[in-house]
Structure 1
């Protein structure tokens, strides 16, 4: 594709992302699937430009408002080309030439916008912190409370591009073998710092070109997510529940920990996601996983299996603040009914899933959020209402992680650990009778 055609393709994709409520990564994947004629290098270029625009969404909108221009995809693209500093006004005029597969010729007010923004930095002293850090107003106060003096550093880290992390499937290969294979493809790959089966790829390859993904030898999974699954510490022969399994990433890691021995129940209220996850399970060669759609967190299945599992993971639905560098559009999408709805839902899910844990068994509560309300405060409230459970200190649950987290729970952030933001707490049920536990129904 010509440079002008790439810009027009990016513009088309921007309109697609703006026009639907689905996450940008899903829209991008579907858009490229429908255009298989676009080559790998062009795909990388288009996707990189789109995600740069998403990561600078609030600041670009600020500049457009400052100059009285509407916040629409074409203006956003023009503003970014000027503010980024790598394209001169003359080059912008050449690219927007109205030719075949090229953007339409610039109008006078568009030429004026490019000229006004040329030489300006994307950040401006007059920008409010929420704009400069691309932080929606609903999240700013709790994140400031969480990070205090480190707020700016953490927000800046969330504006960087997320790395590509892979998890090796130990049933099919080893990390050493996969590192060699990736390097043979000419990729810069290295062992993850903390996750024992993790690999970080320093480039953005076409994922379709990696045979180890198709064969199930590796899965795409952020290192932080891998560490949450590791905290479950599932053993061969045990009975385990992934209560909010979703697409099955952590389920895969848990089942592999168990060496295909024992039984893993992958539960979720979204049956279609479980169906898609089942294909991933088969590709990975895992046959100790059973999927179970639930009507709600208090489905009758939970009561029938009370106290029947050694390990229960609750990867609760959350605000997703920890994934903003990977999903920059998520910070601007409506948060459903908001935290006022999410917080009681998380508490209800955790209380209901806890009923599945047998005496002496473990319950792991996790989110990809960095908000205290969704993390430490949820765990504290649960423990106060469920005295049969106690926190397992991280030094006991995962001694190898104590240098990277709070003493009582896993707490990862992009700035400190170069992972997505994750929280996880391990709790253990004592030997008291199950009947003494308060009901979640």
Structure 2
């Protein structure tokens, strides 16, 4: 934080004020702010983003200890309590107009904090986490969700190998290590300007969380298979599946958003994959889907969800959702699961996944589906089928990845075999 200065602090307060409105996704707010303020350099922007994201992550905690919901006070509290800068140091680094705020922060008595205050989690969400995981495990999970997400890459096996990518990064002085769980993942200490790097531009690497990589591996897509990525989005898992298939067979990428599929096109071009066919659909009931009924070897559903397993990188999501949203989502998840299940051929696999940590969106949805489709599918032990050291069988057929246990985003997956 040696680079902190009055200009930088004012910029941090300005963008944090916009983020705290919680009207748009945090990443888009930051992007728009930096586009309008091009005088902020490449060394200043990461600091501003780190502090602004820290305020959103620790929102309730900072409100409580600062006694304020104002952006400036919360930024000062973040610099002091989260980043460890003394109030004396801050007084010398921020504009004089904020000195009274520093004095107020120094005089503010420390309040007693409930767990949901300490971990900055909405009351309704803490109640669900506490009920599902218990106080001890729930607290560890909540604490992990306050940390900054790792920066993970997936190696495109169609073009190269993890060993070669690691060697090239090392030759450039970029600190990187092989991920411990995904056999094709790399964890980088910090973003090295990846979008301008040769390895990215030539399709050798993509940004993808290790947990997301593992979900794609669970599909077990093979050369010559017919595979459907039912909720493809911008195609992160589509690209992983296509590479797993050795650029052979046929991979259909479905989504209801033209905008998301459009983001897949340049990624697809870089990847060198020719076995992917994108398809915009109107809904899960689109008649074009049924042309493939009973013909597909593998179907992946990366279901729309609350995304609460990704709070390390998307901390605003916990503040922009309400408990009432969950029932609407779970009904949608079940509809998608029912529609996608009709595509799977006998002995084929259907993988249902979310980046949620809530039972409502995970086990409960599968249980409802299995009751409605009794005798049509059987659950396979997802964790065991992966055969990855560090992901042991979890006394349940489901795969559950958590940041405090596995060091990646929170993911859930169920593997169902058509019978």
Structure-1-length-normalised TM-score: 0.88
Instruction: State the secondary structure of the residue aligned to 1:400.
Output: coil
1:106: which partner in 2? 98
Pair 1:176–1:251, CA change in 2 (3 A):
same
Alignment partners' CA distance in 1, 2:418 and 2:195: 44
Residues paired across the two proteins, number: 414
2:378: which partner in 1? 390
Of the candidates 274, 281, 293, which is equivalent to residue 306 of structure 1? 293
1:358 pairs with 2:349: no
1:135 pairs with 2:121: yes
1:326 pairs with 2:313: yes
Deviations 1:226-276 (CA, angstroms, capped at 9, x unpaired): 000001111112111111111111111001111111111111111110111
Where do residues 365-404 of structure 1 align in structure 2 (5 Å cutoff)? 365-386=352-373, 387-394=375-382, 397-400=385-388, 403-404=391-392
Where do 4+ consecutive residues of structure 1 move more than 6 Å? none
Where do residues 212-361 of structure 1 align in structure 2 (5 Å cutoff)? 212-335=199-322, 338-361=325-348
Alignment partners' CA distance in 2, 1:398 and 1:250: 16
Instruction: State the secondary structure of the residue aligned to 2:312.
Output: coil
Pair 1:335–1:171, CA change in 2 (3 A):
farther
1:116: which partner in 2? 107
Alignment partners' CA distance in 1, 2:392 and 2:306: 23
1:161 pairs with 2:120: no
1:415: which partner in 2? 404
Alignment partners' CA distance in 1, 2:148 and 2:243: 29
Deviations 1:15-69 (CA, angstroms, capped at 9, x unpaired): 33234633212332343345555333222222222222222111011234xx4x4
Alignment partners' CA distance in 1, 2:190 and 2:259: 32
Alignment partners' CA distance in 2, 1:169 and 1:50: 33
Of the candidates 53, 62, 65, which is equivalent to residue 64 of structure 2? 62
Q: Give the root-mean-square deviation of aligned CA atoms.
A: 2.2
Deviations 1:128-170 (CA, angstroms, capped at 9, x unpaired): 1111122222222322232223111111111111111100001
Post-superposition offset of 1:86:
3.6
